[in-house]
Structure 1
């Protein structure tokens, strides 16, 4: 077992455990929002399928409107109209024009369009007060070309990508099934919300924070309840967790007499590492139990959430073959000081905002037991080992993408 790893070393070992691949299912496009594509998608059609107009106006020959102005308008005969869905079928000759509407095919014989704002209709004729221009014609295939791949395996299906898949002609898509992630809370003091809270007890907030984090990262959370700090009960619950791709435990991985999760996994599983040089979340554990990856998260609410965000989220992204990184770091100006720690990389909770520039300020109390900091904050402020951040200095901030 390795111990006291850097954040980078720990993440490398966690990602190495994401070796499987989730199953694949086919879903109607309307049910695929937030899922991850399991195959590349090529367009089944050109878009637009003909040269069309990007504006409302009149299509004509560019040569017929050269030099048109308010003082010297060009006069053309209107021989029809071309609304979207009902294109003009004839051919436009010299001195003629067709009224066109956004998205309609450009009639045969025309090569330019003049905006309706630059015209005046007079019966069967139209006066053009500006030259007609080819620049408002969208050429065939300007957006999509038949046979070209525009969405790739591992892409998250956002609203824009759902629309793109539909525009390409796909009524259904093949997506990865969400990895099943078990969530087990430990501790004699833990009770479910709604139950009477005994003296010294705490409500099981970790299960629901982790449920949200797992779902936001593309997984299917499986709540396994809570178990007391008794080795045989912990082992039974771990072994009876069912078919999972990842098992999360919260609590029981530190150095105390009642931190039994670590002891059970050392005896019955294989502990790959324990303890990371970071704050909060130092007593993180990675193990295997009968081939199942187990992330032993600390019991403090902030530590539990931060460690999942830094390690569990990348694990699920790797498993789902996601094309986007699990998180991105930005540079921001610190509006408040942020304290570091000797020999440890520190992740403080901050409020990131744009105030003429990107700035970040502390959420206040940074104790790992203050869950309010994760509800109020929308970023993790990263402080390298043995460093401090003073007000006005540039700092690295990782947006917490589950905060809207």
Structure 2
């Protein structure tokens, strides 16, 4: 077992456990939002499928409109119209125009469009007060070309990508199965919300914070309840967890007499590492139990959430083969000081905003028991070991994607 690792060393070992490949399932387009594509998608169509108009107006020959102005309008004869879905069947000749509406095909013979606001209709004629422009014609395949790949294996299906898949002609999509993530809380003091709270007890907030984090990262959470600080109960619950891709335990991984999760995993499984040189979340543990990766998260609410975001989320992204990174560090100017820690990489909770530039301020009390900081803070301020950040200094921040 390795111990006292750097954040980078610990993350590399966690990612190395994301082995194998998830199964693939095919789902209707309406059920594919938030899933991860399991194959490249090439467009089945050209879009638009022929030259069309980007504006309402009149399609005509550009050369017939040269010199048109408010003082010198050009008169054209209107020979028909072309709404979207009902293209004009004829051909535009010299001195002629066809009324067109956004998305409608450009009739044969026309090579430009004059916008309706630059015209005035007079019976069967139209007066043009500006020249027609080819720039308002969208050429065939301007958006999508048949056979070209626009979405790739590992892409998260966001609203825009879901619409793109539909535009390419796909009614169903092959996506990766969601990784099943077990969530087990430990501790004699832990009580489910709604139950009477005994003296010294705490409600089981970690299970529900982790449930949300797992869902947000693309996993399927499996709530396994909570167990008391007794090795036989912990072991029985771990062994009865069922088919999982990752097991998260909350609490029981520190150095106390009742931190039994670590002891059980040392005796019955294989501990890869224990303790990371970071704050909060130092007592993080990575183990294997019968081939199942286990992330032992600290019991303090902030530590539990921060360690999942920094390690569990990248694990799920790697397992899903996602093309986007699990988080994107940025630079921001500190509006308040942030305190570092000796020999440890620190992740302070902050509020990130844009005020002429990206700025970040503290959420206040940085104790790992203050869950409010993860509910209303929207970023982690990253401080290297042995470094404080002064007010006005530029610091590294990691936006928390699960905070609005």
Structure 1 length as normaliser, TM-score? 0.99
After superposing the two structures, state which structure 1 stretch, 21-30 or 322-331, moved more: 21-30
Taking the aligned partners of 1:126 and 1:161, their CA distance within structure 2 comes to 41
Alpha-carbon shift at residue 23 of structure 1 (Å): 1.3
Task: Give the equivalent residue in structure 2 for 1:285.
Answer: 285
Q: Cα deviations across residues 260-298 of structure 1 (Å, max 9, x unaligned)?
A: 100110111000000000000000000000000000000
Alignment of 1:209-358 (within 5 A): 209-358=209-358
Taking the aligned partners of 2:230 and 2:127, their CA distance within structure 1 comes to 89
Taking the aligned partners of 1:148 and 1:268, their CA distance within structure 2 comes to 52
Task: Give the equivalent residue in structure 1 for 2:387.
Answer: 387
Alpha-carbon shift at residue 389 of structure 1 (Å): 0.4
Alpha-carbon shift at residue 317 of structure 1 (Å): 0.3
State the superposition RMSD in angstroms: 0.5
Q: Cα deviations across residues 334-386 of structure 1 (Å, max 9, x unaligned)?
A: 01000000110000000011112111100000000111110110100001111
Taking the aligned partners of 1:71 and 1:14, their CA distance within structure 2 comes to 73
Taking the aligned partners of 1:175 and 1:51, their CA distance within structure 2 comes to 34
Task: Give the equivalent residue in structure 1 for 2:128.
Answer: 128
Q: Cα deviations across residues 202-253 of structure 1 (Å, max 9, x unaligned)?
A: 1100000000000000000000000011111111111110000000000000
Q: Is the 8 A contact 2:191 2:202 kept in 1?
A: yes
SS at match of 1:263: helix
Taking the aligned partners of 1:141 and 1:330, their CA distance within structure 2 comes to 36
Q: Is the 8 A contact 2:389 2:395 kept in 1?
A: yes
Alpha-carbon shift at residue 24 of structure 1 (Å): 1.1
Taking the aligned partners of 1:225 and 1:31, their CA distance within structure 2 comes to 28
SS at match of 1:183: strand
Q: Cα deviations across residues 168-209 of structure 1 (Å, max 9, x unaligned)?
A: 000110111110000000001101011111111111000000
Taking the aligned partners of 2:117 and 2:225, their CA distance within structure 1 comes to 66
Q: Is the 8 A contact 2:376 2:403 kept in 1?
A: no
Task: Give the equivalent residue in structure 2 for 1:175.
Answer: 175
Taking the aligned partners of 2:24 and 2:277, their CA distance within structure 1 comes to 37
Taking the aligned partners of 1:287 and 1:31, their CA distance within structure 2 comes to 34
Alignment of 1:9-28 (within 5 A): 9-28=9-28
- Find out whether 1:60 has 2:66 as its counterpart: no
Task: Give the equivalent residue in structure 1 for 2:46.
Answer: 46
SS at match of 1:306: helix
Alpha-carbon shift at residue 322 of structure 1 (Å): 0.4
Taking the aligned partners of 1:44 and 1:199, their CA distance within structure 2 comes to 64
Taking the aligned partners of 1:186 and 1:353, their CA distance within structure 2 comes to 36
Taking the aligned partners of 2:13 and 2:286, their CA distance within structure 1 comes to 8
Taking the aligned partners of 1:154 and 1:199, their CA distance within structure 2 comes to 48
Count of residue correspondences: 404
SS at match of 2:132: coil
Taking the aligned partners of 2:299 and 2:348, their CA distance within structure 1 comes to 18
Taking the aligned partners of 1:398 and 1:199, their CA distance within structure 2 comes to 37
Alpha-carbon shift at residue 20 of structure 1 (Å): 2.0
SS at match of 1:238: helix
SS at match of 1:308: helix
Taking the aligned partners of 1:140 and 1:376, their CA distance within structure 2 comes to 48
Alpha-carbon shift at residue 307 of structure 1 (Å): 0.1
Taking the aligned partners of 2:31 and 2:273, their CA distance within structure 1 comes to 39
Alpha-carbon shift at residue 59 of structure 1 (Å): 0.5
Alpha-carbon shift at residue 110 of structure 1 (Å): 0.5
Structure 2 length as normaliser, TM-score? 0.99
Q: Is the 8 A contact 2:81 2:100 kept in 1?
A: yes
Task: Give the equivalent residue in structure 2 for 1:89.
Answer: 89
After TM superposition, what 4+ stretches of structure 1 lie above 2 angstroms from structure 2? none
Alpha-carbon shift at residue 133 of structure 1 (Å): 0.7
Task: Give the equivalent residue in structure 2 for 1:377.
Answer: 377
Taking the aligned partners of 1:299 and 1:275, their CA distance within structure 2 comes to 14
SS at match of 2:188: coil
